């Protein structure tokens, strides 16, 4: 390892290079081989969007790479950054904001990041990255952010229903061996990306709360007004402001008319020192009344998410522990019950509302939304980070030809196509997330019951019947037509099962309603 010191006019930076990597480009070649092999399977980039491979030069932050306290407890000390005004203001330094800041700075853009709280987040969602999202990390040069946080490889899912189970592996046969899903502590992942972004010369990362957008007379956004950590009111200016302040965004109303729908809430626990029935697989229990999820977030911890249906977020009432013990515990695999009950007794129970919000394209000169501030889906399938990272790759490639971001007219023209080009990936993941949640939840309706059983049996057939839907869910095959075909294949499979061997008028009526229900689960995005 070679350490090189470079001196700025006001700050000293340490750049850490892998000597062999720098001279021979082995890691860079490995990244390119992964991408080449991966991109020639399911996902093909748009013909007019160049595939930009990440530079093999790895830049580490000043003396912080091995400091566990930085990643877990402390906020990164903001570097002095670049002199003068920024090219882009990024509001929020979560998964989307940190990745965007790093990506644009690597392209030579001066990025001012303003984040409300730079301490490590502690959340119960954003913990599972699909294989399609991991491929986007490679494209952005951020794949090493999952290497030092005890992230776990995810190879697919296992469904449990009425005493039966079916294994649904990701279709990864044609991909490089390193391509798989990853599950981890969300906060550790975010801190690694913040650390990597903050180390770049063209990133200025600052803790502060953005209170409003600054506009000119012609409704062009020219910057933001924010309150610093010390309480000082300041203004920052840039030709492009990107709002990515998450699912609870307080700025999205300035750019769109959000329609957030909360269909359920997750009650989250952490199970310690237990073994999953199928290691390296996410476990989905089709319970009553709605699904229960288990997946590893470290080598010693398993995340459990219990879905509570309904638009109102449940309070931590005194009966919550009793509900989990009496109603939920009996429905999970026996090997996990003791660890589940122990987690309840420890009392560390978290609740998170599950909101969905369709993307509402509303091109605004000088500003745009991205990430959960722009588009949300039910987190059952863990697709949010994959959509966000895909959007960032697309945004990077779209604005690359724009030399001067101050040319508002030209910039707006490029950004308008963003809302169309993002649809294949976003619409398949969003639609599948909402549909599977409805199908997997228990309903008194006979058609819904039959469709639930048909979906489980269809996926249990294996081969293309499971590989196709899982490729869609994982972001490996972002083709809406394929999604529609599988929707109706499940419906007609259910109708066929229902009518054989002897159809009756009642069964035909239920069969017709199955088709209608399936159609209703495929809304336009």
Give the per-residue pLDDT at 180.
98
Which residues pair with residue 513 across a beta bridge? none
Domain map (residue ranges) of the chain: 62-149+184-260+357-441, 261-355, 443-520
Give the per-residue pLDDT at 499.
77
How large is the average pLDDT for residues 202-209?
97
Any idea of the CA torsion for 377, 213, 397, 15, to the nearest 10 degrees? -100
Residue 16 has which token pair? 């850490």
Instruction: Determine what percent of the chain is predicted with pLDDT higher than 90.
Output: 67
Rounded to 10°, the helix 464-473/446-460 angle is 100
- Whether 82 has a pLDDT exceeding 60, the answer reads yes
Question: Smallest Cα–Cα separation from 413: which of 398, 425, 391, 403?
Answer: 398
pTM (predicted TM-score): 0.83
Please provide the CATH number assigned to the domain covering 261-355. Answer: 3.30.9.10
How large is the average pLDDT for residues 57-69?
33
Q: Nearest 5°: phi and psi at 472?
A: -70, -45
How large is the average pLDDT for residues 487-505?
82
Is 524 exposed, middle or buried (CB count within 10 Å of its CB: 0-12, 13-18, 19+)?
exposed
pLDDT band at 86 (very low <50, low <70, confident <90, very high): very high
Please provide the CATH number assigned to the domain covering 62-149+184-260+357-441. Answer: 3.50.50.60
pLDDT band at 35 (very low <50, low <70, confident <90, very high): low
Give the per-residue pLDDT at 114.
98
Number of other CB atoms surrounding residue 329 within 10 Å: 15
Each residue's pLDDT tens digit, 110-158: 999 999 999 999 999 999 999 999 999 999 999 999 999 999 999 999 9
Each residue's pLDDT tens digit, 457-479: 999 999 999 999 999 999 999 99
184, 270 in Cβ contact below 8 A? Answer: no
Residue 327 has which token pair? 């109603």
Q: CA-CA distances (angstroms) from residue 279 to 174, 191, 299, 383, 474?
A: 22, 26, 11, 21, 18
Question: Smallest Cα–Cα separation from 243: which of 127, 25, 391, 442?
Answer: 391
**17-26, 75-84, 326-335, 410-419: which has the minimum mean pLDDT?**
17-26
Phi-psi region of 112 (alpha: psi -120 to 50; beta: other; left: phi over 0): beta
Give the per-residue pLDDT at 508.
76
Report whether the peptide linkage leading into residue 289 is cis, meaning its omega lies within 30 degrees of zero. yes
Number of other CB atoms surrounding residue 11 within 10 Å: 12
> Computed from CA positions of residues 178, 184, 189, 190, in that sequence, does the dihedral angle turn out positive or negative?
positive
Each residue's pLDDT tens digit, 383-400: 999 999 999 999 999 999
How large is the average pLDDT for residues 218-228?
92
How large is the average pLDDT for residues 307-319?
80
Instruction: Determine what percent of the chain is predicted with pLDDT higher than 70.
Output: 81
């Amino acid at each position: 390892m070679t350490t090189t010191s470079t001196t700025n006019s006001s700050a000293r930076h340490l750049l850490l290079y892998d000597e062999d990597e720098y001279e021979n480009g082995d890691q860079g070649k490995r990244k390119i081989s992964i991408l080449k092999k991966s991109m020639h399977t399911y996902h093909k980039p748009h013909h007019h969007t160049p595939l930009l491979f990440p530079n093999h030069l790895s830049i580490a932050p000043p003396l912080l790479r091995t400091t566990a306290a930085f990643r877990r407890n402390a906020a990164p000390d903001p570097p002095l950054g670049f002199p003068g005004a920024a090219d882009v203001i990024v509001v929020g330094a979560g998964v989307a904001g940190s990745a965007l800041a790093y990506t644009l700075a690597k392209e030579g853009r001066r990025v001012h990041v303003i984040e409300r709280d730079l301490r490590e987040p502690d959340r119960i969602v954003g913990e599972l990255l699909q294989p399609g999202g991991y491929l986007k990390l490679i494209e952005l040069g951020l794949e090493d952010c999952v290497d030092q946080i005890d992230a776990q490889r995810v190879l697919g899912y296992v469904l449990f229903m009425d005493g039966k189970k079916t294994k649904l592996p990701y279709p990864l046969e044609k991909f490089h061996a390193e391509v798989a899903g990853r599950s981890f502590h969300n906060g550790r992942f975010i801190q690694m990306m913040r650390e990597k972004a903050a180390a770049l010369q063209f990133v200025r990362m600052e803790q502060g709360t953005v209170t409003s957008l600054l506009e000119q007379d012609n409704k062009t956004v020219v910057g933001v007004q924010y309150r610093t950590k010390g309480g000082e009111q300041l203004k920052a200016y840039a030709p492009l402001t990107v709002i990515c302040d998450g699912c609870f965004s307080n700025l999205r109303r300035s750019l769109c008319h959000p329609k957030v729908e909360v269909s359920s809430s997750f009650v989250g626990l952490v199970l310690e020192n237990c073994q999953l029935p199928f290691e390296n697989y996410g476990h989905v229990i089709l319970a009553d009344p709605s699904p229960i999820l288990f997946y590893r977030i470290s080598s010693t911890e398993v995340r459990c998410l219990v879905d509570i249906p309904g638009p109102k977020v449940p309070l931590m009432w005194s009966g919550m522990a009793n509900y989990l013990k009496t109603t939920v515990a009996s429905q999970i695999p026996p090997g996990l019950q003791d660890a589940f009950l122990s987690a309840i007794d420890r009392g560390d129970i978290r609740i998170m509302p599950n909101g969905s919000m369709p993307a509402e394209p509303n091109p605004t000169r000088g500003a745009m939304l991205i990430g959960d501030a722009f588009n949300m889906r039910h987190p059952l399938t863990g697709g949010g980070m994959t959509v966000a990272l895909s959007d960032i790759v697309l945004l990077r490639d779209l604005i690359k030809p724009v030399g001067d971001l101050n040319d508002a007219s030209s910039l707006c023209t490029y950004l308008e196509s963003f809302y169309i080009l993002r649809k294949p990936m976003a619409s398949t993941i969003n639609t599948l997330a909402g549909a599977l949640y409805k199908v997997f939840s228990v309903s008194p309706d006979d058609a819904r019951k039959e469709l639930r059983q048909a979906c489980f049996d269809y996926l249990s057939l294996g081969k293309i019947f499971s590989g196709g839907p899982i490729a869609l869910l994982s972001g490996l095959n972002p083709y809406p037509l394929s999604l529609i075909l599988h929707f109706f294949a499940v419906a007609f499979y259910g109708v066929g099962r229902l009518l054989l061997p002897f159809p009756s008028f009642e069964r035909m009526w239920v069969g017709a309603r199955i088709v209608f229900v399936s159609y209703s689960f495929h809304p336009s995005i």
